[in-house]
Amino acid sequence: MCGRFSLSSNLEELKNKFSNEISGNFPAKYNISPGQNSVVISLKKNDIFLNQIQWGFKVPKLSKLMINARSETINEKPLFKNLFQQNRCLIPANSWFEWNNENKPYLIKHKENDIIAFAGLQRLEENKERSFIIITAEAGRNLKTIHKRTPLVINKENFLFWLGNDYEKACNILKPINSNDYIFYPVSPKVGKISNDDISVTEKYFEKESQLNLFSN
C-alpha cells in the first residue's frame, strides 16, 4: 500500500517533468497523509493542468478514507471501474514511506528521478470537492522486504497515454514497478506523526545502539 508520501519539488521542477503549461501555488510537504490535499496532474481538453485535491475517497461503509486501489482488480470493482475508464490522474511525488513487519518506517525513492508520478484515480465527492486515490501493485524483489505492495509509477513517456482517452493503452501501463530502479533506507519514527512535516523525516535514520551494561559479569 501507500499511506504516506512526500512532494517538496517546486512548480518549475514540476513544469520540467510534466508540462510548461501548468501553473499553481502549493507548499512543500514532506509527510503527506490521507485526508490532506496534494498536487494532482490531469488532462482536460487536451491540456495538462495542476490541481490540489484531497487524498482519499469517502465510502459510507468505511470508517476510514479509502486511499489505495489494487491494480489487479481495478477493472472489476464497481467503485473503480468507471473511474479507471474516465478519471485517471497522476500524483507527483519525490518519495513514499512504508513500515516493515517490525513497524519501522522506510523511505523509498527512485535512484535517478527526483520526481515520480503515481498512477491515480480522482472523483467528485458528495460535497462537490474532488479527491484522489493511489493505485498500487505487487512489490518486487528487494522492496518486498519492506512491504508487499508499492504505488504503481507511470514513466514520463506514458504520461499522455495514462491521462488520455485510450482505455486499452492505459490498461497496458498497469504494470508493477521495477524494484531495481529504487532505493530505500530507514527514517525516523517521528514520520508516523503527521504534524512532523519537515525535511528531517526524509533523512536517513540510525538507531542509537543500546548502552553496554558495564556491570555485567
- pLDDT computed for residue 215 by the predictor: 39
How many helices, marked H, and strands, marked E, lie in the chain?
Answer: 4, 12
**Second CATH level (architecture) for the domain 4-202:** Alpha-Beta Complex (3.90)
Cell representation of residue 82:
468507471
Distance CA 20, CA 43 (A): 14
Cell representation of residue 81:
471501474
- Bridge partners of 107? 97, 185
Summarised one tens digit per residue, pLDDT across range 182-206 is 999 999 999 999 999 999 999 999 8
Average pLDDT over residues 128-141: 94
- Bridge partners of 38? 53
pLDDT confidence band for 217 (50 / 70 / 90):
very low
Q: How is the chain split into domains, by residue range?
A: 4-202
> Is this prediction's pTM over 0.85?
yes
Distance CA 59, CA 189 (A): 30
Mean pLDDT over each residue of the chain, to the nearest integer:
92
Average pLDDT over residues 150-156: 97
Average pLDDT over residues 156-183: 94
